[in-house]
Amino acid sequence: MKAKWLCPSLLVILLVGCRANHDSLDDYIVQTKKTAQHEVKALTPVLEFVTSDYDAHANRSPFVLPQAALVLNQPQLRADCWQPKRRQKNGALERFPLEKLSLKGVMSRNGSNSALVQTPSGDLVKINAGQYIGLNNGKVVKVTESYMQIDETLPDGLGCWSRRNVKLALN
């Protein structure tokens, strides 16, 4: 019997608890507009883009530097400073920068050490003292149990060259 009265009384309690908001919607909109920000920043003016026709026979290729820029970018050989001997690069490790190479091992045979250098592609290359490595004419001077010393020549951009010693340590 109690269950018969429980359901309708619960429904009545829920409906009494729900009261509609009788505030005016128009008053709410007016109040919201009063508190809204009215200042809008001005947009920057749009830049006018001017097109031009390209004539392949009259103009230079857009993918090649102008001749004046090519001449300025070429280093001039100067007789008043040290210049390295010109040689042909044909070593397996002369096409990689030294930063991309890592010394992975050292082998010794009859008192002379050889280094195992890993290329960026993961290949291991055996190299001895006297061979060239890196992009800047780096010559391997010494290979020890823990590092490889390289004598590298660097251009200064003004036509002269300088030398520096670099060590690749065993990882």
- What DSSP letter does each residue of 12-78 carry, written as one string? HHHHHH-----S-HHHHHHHHHHHS----PPPPPPPPP------TTTSPPTTS--HHHHHHHSPPP-
* pLDDT digits (tens), the chain, 171 positions: 566 777 778 777 777 666 666 678 888 888 888 888 777 788 888 888 888 888 877 777 777 766 665 555 555 556 678 777 888 888 888 888 888 999 999 999 888 899 999 999 999 999 999 999 988 889 999 999 999 999 998 877 777 888 889 999 987
**Domains within the chain, CATH numbers bracketed:** 98-162 (2.30.30.830)
pTM of this structure:
0.53
